Structure 1
Amino acid sequence: MKRNILFLLMLAGCGWFVLGIPMRGQLEFSLIENRSLQKWPEFSLDAFAQGTYQEAIDSFLNDQLMYSEQIKAVVKKVQRLPADCLIQFNESQNAEAPNSEPDVERPKEAFEYIALGKGIYRYGDSGYLIYRPGETIDFTSYQRFADTMNPLIDQLNDIDFYAYFITTSSAIDFNAETPADRYFPFVSQHLHVKKIERFAVNDFDDYRKYFYKSDHHWNHVGSYMGYRNLLAMLKPEETPMNPLGEICFDELDFQGSSARLTAYFDIHETFCAYQMPEDSNITVMINGLEGSYGQEQEYFNHEYDAEKGASHYGSFYGGDNGEVLFINPEKEGNLLVLGNSFDNAVVKLLSHHYHEVRVIDWRYYEAETGQPFDLTETVRMMEADQVLFIGDNWFFKIDE
């Protein structure tokens, strides 16, 4: 009898993990994994015959099970136990003795890389979650990017191509005797663009000025500097916009992408942004539909998601979409931007200086528009005057 009751309880528990989904509703996004979640797939005989329908069902169950986010967070914390023990030991060793004189600021070269998983490290007691480059670098995928793009660039020789390389923690070892970006020299030498410039990060002091503690993206100071650098390179005759002011949302405990991917929420920071001039004449189209990009005004009105781990960078500036088009009737010139999520914070600002800015994220373009991206066709269709490649070192590579 007891066995039967236990079996029924277990069966009910397992059933709740699946049957509770319709009651709760399908989740859109995983904060822990920083990605969109699989929805219930539409059935088709073709998809069933190819097995893709069954694969989608499996992904749906993995993504949508009740308490899946909480379970993933627990798993990540268990995987991170060795790192947590090391962090606690270091903190106990570094604790200031009673009545001792305060230590001088700890030199940056003394910070340790402590692995948290997913390629992310806590950089000692600096308060930063960062990536780091490997000891050896295989440039095959970077050569593949150049070999793919260069024939198109050479073919479209009446269009000016530019590149903007953003140095992040994944490109520079802060503990090296002479820290240096190890990817930019290769990219700049092999990509046939008219001009390539680098968002320079030469040491950890630079990094902490321009990047978040818990997120891999550049902060408002870094992205605004990037915008000014881009405008000086692309349209030097234009005057950059100046911020109306800096606003920090003190009530938000910002937990960025690196914190979410490792479920490491011990790093706390305040989300800040510059308030920039608005232009109501600019029209925005997202994947062919008119809309709005980013939620700056909502944030300034204090209308935002205050949940721990919310993606404030993407919500404030705008998300990763296959195609975003800005149309400004007051300006001239058409710019095609090919980039990753780093461009989210600058493309709206650039739209104040062009008639048309079309932004392509080829990671999502085909899935969201239903057709493969064709660089040559897009350049000709929009009558582009300039093409800009922009991103960190992970953008300037093509994996097999």
Structure 2
Amino acid sequence: MIRQIEKARKWILIILFFAFIFTVFFYLTASADIEVSDVEKRELAQNPDLSIENVSSGEYMDDFESYFLDQFPGRNIWLKSYLQYQQMTNKTYIFDYYVSDANWIIPKPSYSEPSSHIDDAVKNLNEFASTMKSEGKEVHFASLPHKVNTIDILPSYIEEGKGIEKKDYFFSKFDHENIPMVDVGKEFKEEYTDEELKERYFKTDHHWNMYGAFEGYQKVASLLSNNSAYYTPINEDESDYELTCQNDKQFIGSYNNQLYLTVDATGEKICHMLPKDDLFDRYQITWNGKDRSFKQVYGTDIFRDNNPVDFGGLYMNNTAEIKIENPAVKEESRLLILKDSYANPIAFHVAQHFSDTTVYDIRYNDDQILTEYIADKDFDVVLFLYNDAMLQGESFRFSTPMKEETK
């Protein structure tokens, strides 16, 4: 009797195994492959070509394994369940993110020491500024405060990362004589308590919110006002702006997206600070060579009444180039903004003070050499708007094409 039961169990397991294989095979065959993971921000593996050459080389099985893992039925549900299980077991890091009791998300700190990559970046910057100055152009640098270097969220038993040490190392080699600069993060820390700093950042995203970004813009405007011959004072008082918030919408933070939206994002400040004179609506804007209105470029999720909202849709998505003509400044003044995503909420604010502004992201112009691009233009001012966790890498390659350097 016992043997019969064991034999029946084996057959049941075999039948269940083959039923599982058949179900997965049917799913993969009948359903369309998912091309991109919105959560992981990457392309997913697609069904590999079945050929004698691929099978004999072993490449087919390797590719099929990646395909199977990426296209597994209910993959996102399984991953989300696994994340929730990790949260229940009080793991310190979940997918290399720490989540506080108040639902603040912060990535695992970096403990690597300052490296030659930072040396290369600041050397390139100093040489670039020297060249621009010899050509009669101004260069200004605003260090914008990344969340990981600004807010103390991690518990005391976790060792602090090396972010501030790397920033200090960068600026120890910075050409302060030739490049007027403002360290917005340093000023924030001198002016605000930890709790006040938290009011200026998203809990579930890696960026600052409008409260922090607008104060950052004011410090950038002060830098330009004190050091640039081309700056025009427009809408300099906070009373010239109107704050509007959309707190009835759901916010999808970049960190929370990596955690499959398992963290409660209630209370995120989904806000804009726009000039009362509607100057932004009067800008003439060219987005990657196409004419656009302000509301087709900035705040698209809000102006189209989308829900949920992410950082790019709330402010501006990263893109290669935006040109802005400002009718409020009559005397010609041409600004080039070199930026990362921290500048996205405030690039249009900075553009108020110049007749023509080009917003340019080196990371999205990997087939172009910046110095050659500038040689074809007639800029008066170059302004860096870089966050202080991005002080090395591709954004500091000014005279060599990135594709060539990364081969």
Q: TM-score, normalised by structure 2?
A: 0.71
Distance of 1:385 and 1:59 partners within structure 2: 50
Counterpart residue number, 1:341: 341
Which of 224, 248, 262 is residue 214 of structure 2 equivalent to? 224
Deviation of 1:315 after TM superposition, in Å, equals 0.3
Deviation of 1:141 after TM superposition, in Å, equals 2.3
Counterpart residue number, 1:377: 372
Assess if the C-alpha contact under 8 Å between 1:184 and 1:198 holds in 2.
no
Which of 162, 179, 184 is residue 167 of structure 2 equivalent to? 184
**Equivalences for residues 252-271 of structure 1 within 5 A:** 252-263=249-260, 264-271=262-269
Q: How many residue pairs get matched?
A: 345
Counterpart residue number, 1:196: 181
Structure 1 residues 314-350: Cα deviation after superposition (integer angstroms, max 9, x where no partner) = 1021111122222324433222222211111111222
**Equivalences for residues 1-400 of structure 1 within 5 A:** 7=18, 10-17=21-28, 19-21=30-32, 30=38, 32-33=39-40, 35=41, 37=43, 67-77=74-84, 81=86, 84-86=88-90, 114-118=92-96, 120-123=97-100, 125-131=101-107, 133-135=109-111, 137-157=113-133, 158-171=136-149, 174=152, 181-192=164-175, 194-200=179-185, 201-202=188-189, 204-236=194-226, 237-240=232-235, 242=238, 244-263=241-260, 264-277=262-275, 278=278, 279-292=280-293, 294-296=297-299, 299=302, 303-306=305-308, 310-311=309-310, 313-331=311-329, 332-366=332-366, 372-398=367-393
Pair 305,285 (structure 1): closer, same or farther in 2 beyond 3 Å: same
Structure 1 residues 193-235: Cα deviation after superposition (integer angstroms, max 9, x where no partner) = 5112112342522430211111110011011111111112124
- RMSD, matched Cα: 3.9
Distance of 2:66 and 2:327 partners within structure 1: 44
Q: Letter of the aligned partner of 1:73 in structure 2?
A: K
Deviation of 1:38 after TM superposition, in Å, equals 5.9
Deviation of 1:384 after TM superposition, in Å, equals 1.3
Distance of 1:20 and 1:73 partners within structure 2: 21
Deviation of 1:365 after TM superposition, in Å, equals 2.2
Distance of 2:209 and 2:346 partners within structure 1: 11
User: Is the partner of 2:99 in helix, strand or coil?
Assistant: strand
Distance of 1:115 and 1:13 partners within structure 2: 32
Distance of 2:204 and 2:164 partners within structure 1: 21
Q: Letter of the aligned partner of 1:143 in structure 2?
A: D
Assess if the C-alpha contact under 8 Å between 2:132 and 2:139 holds in 1.
no
Q: TM-score, normalised by structure 1?
A: 0.72
Q: Which runs of 5+ in 2 are unaligned?
A: 1-10, 55-59, 227-231, 395-405
Q: Which runs of 5+ in 1 are unaligned?
A: 49-53, 88-113, 367-371
Which of the pair has more CA radius of gyration? 2
Distance of 2:31 and 2:117 partners within structure 1: 44
Distance of 2:118 and 2:82 partners within structure 1: 34
Pair 346,116 (structure 1): closer, same or farther in 2 beyond 3 Å: same
Deviation of 1:148 after TM superposition, in Å, equals 2.6
Distance of 1:186 and 1:300 partners within structure 2: 42
> Identity of paired residues, percent?
16
Q: Letter of the aligned partner of 1:304 in structure 2?
A: N
Distance of 1:273 and 1:129 partners within structure 2: 20
Assess if the C-alpha contact under 8 Å between 2:300 and 2:313 holds in 1.
no
Pair 351,36 (structure 1): closer, same or farther in 2 beyond 3 Å: farther
